[in-house]
Amino acid sequence: MADTSLDTSAGAHHPGPKAYVHGKSHSDIPAVYALKEQEKRLIEDIKAFLDFSFPEEGSLVRERFAALQELGAAVARFPSVRAAGNGWGDGQKYGVIASSNRDSFLESLSSYSPAARLLHLPVRAVGAHSYFIAKSHAFSFVAKLVDDIEAFYKPLRQAIFSIICTLLVEEVYFSCLEDPMFSREIKGHLIDDLVSLWDNGVELDTAKHQPALETLWTVRDASPPSFGTMDGSSELMRVSLGMGKDWSDFLVTKLSDPETQCALEEFLFSLSCEEIQEVRSRLVRFGISAVNHDEVRSFLGTRPAYTMVKSTDPRAIYDFYMERRDMAVYRMHSAVPGPKKTLEEMYLRFRLTRKEDQ
């Protein structure tokens, strides 16, 4: 019998009776809670390979993705965040928000710290976030099983990278929602994008700023730091070649600002601005013209501020963003020198404010 355990995309046809999960057919599950077509084909190919060569591992993959499907079906049962007549501010017990009640939602978000936000978001939003985390773990698990099979390496890595980028965009959006300098109109647009993620199954692919941010992370992922003279020019050139005109406009407009410079250097070198200053001071002090990766690490000791972004695990990009964001928040509260926002937040803010001015 053909295996249809992964065929849960919206509108998909299933032979025989429809499968139902507490009143909702799998074919009605929003696409955000089902694998994309290319992901399903990839997993089917991997299962076929494992079934032939390593049956026990093939069984583990089937179990893991069956559990992921069940989680997606469970999340999809919760009310839509946009559910009409149940504004999040008016009917919090339903865990939903109407688009007409965005102001209440924004006020509610600002009432809680990022650490406490989880318990106060609509259930559908928390469920969507949990689903993406579970999906990243499922694909990472498969990647470990077939890490020596070249044909599977790149597509698996791309699938994991895409999931991580969706989680990253969600975090960047939340950081911008906490920015008091943004207008309510801009924050309303960010809320709309997030609600589309949670409700409509778009993974922010059609959101206004997802492509630009994902491109930024993609070119950064493909351009590891080379250090050298620590001036960052070669790294910036490699990143800029993969970006669009708005990135060039951002650099021309904002790069004279010291905080933007520091945030960009952190992004390029995977070092905190404090560590970058320490390395540069050593280069001057000891008359060193260039430095390599190992020498940089020897200068800074065994506890670097940020996770090194390794090409073997796209999840390190998420760690790298969160660590920079936490450091930026610390600097803001402590009033110490250095960037008070990440480069991604600065870039998104530039795009948002420019659109508002047009």
Q: Name the 3-class secondary structure at 101.
A: helix
SS3 161: helix
How many other CB atoms are there within 10 angstroms of residue 353's CB atom? 14
Is 75 buried (19+), middle (13-18) or exposed (0-12) by CB count in 10 A? Answer: buried
Q: Residue 25 pairs with which residues in a beta bridge?
A: 20
pLDDT given for residue 232 in this prediction: 64
CA dihedral sign of residues 17, 19, 24, 28: negative
According to the model, what pLDDT value does residue 11 have?
Answer: 35
Per-residue pLDDT tens listing for the chain (358 residues): 333 334 333 333 333 333 334 444 444 556 667 888 999 999 999 999 999 999 999 999 999 999 999 999 898 888 888 764 344 434 444 344 444 567 777 777 767 777 777 888 888 889 989 999 999 999 999 999 998 898 998 899 889 988 888 888 888 888 888 888 888 888 888 888 888 888 865 554 445 677 788 888 888 777 667 666 666 677 787 778 778 888 999 999 998 999 999 999 899 888 889 888 888 888 888 787 777 777 777 777 767 788 777 667 788 888 889 999 999 999 999 999 999 999 998 998 888 877 655 5
Query: Do 341 and 323 contact (CB within 8 A), yes or no?
Result: no
Cα separation, 228 vs 48, in Å, equals 46
Question: What DSSP character marks residue 81?
Answer: T
Q: Where are the domains of the chain?
A: 20-210, 213-357
What's the CA gap between 271 and 300, in Å, rounded? 10
Rounded Cα gap, residues 58 and 46, in angstroms? 8
* Contact indicator for 169, 210 with CB cutoff of 8 Å: yes
Say what the pLDDT of residue 22 is: 42
Biggest CA pair distance of the chain: 75
Strand ranges inside the chain, DSSP E: 20-21, 24-25
pTM: 0.78
* Predicted pLDDT at 327: 93
Query: How big, in percent rounded to 5, are the helix, strand and coil portions of the chain?
Result: 65, 0, 35
Residues 6+ apart with CB under 8 A from 60: 141, 145
Quote the CA–CA distance of 266 and 272 in Å, as a whole number. 5
Task: Phi first, then psi: give them for residue 86, nearest 5 degrees.
Answer: -130, 65
Question: Residue 259: is it exposed, middle or buried by C-beta count within 10 angstroms (0-12/13-18/19+)?
Answer: middle
Amino acid 355: pLDDT: 62
Task: Decide if 30 contacts 76 (C-beta within 8 A).
Answer: yes
Contact (CB, 8 A) for 168 and 210: no
Closest alpha carbon to 124 in 177, 193, 194, 199: 199
Angstrom distance (rounded) from CA 139 to CA 154: 12
- Residue 200: helix, strand or coil by DSSP? helix
- Distance CA(2)–CA(15), nearest Å, equals 10
DSSP secondary structure string, 256-286?
TSHHHHHHHHHHHHSS-HHHHHHHHHHHHHT
128 and 32 in contact (C-beta within 8 Å)? yes
The total number of residues shown for the chain amounts to 358
Model pLDDT, residue 6: 40
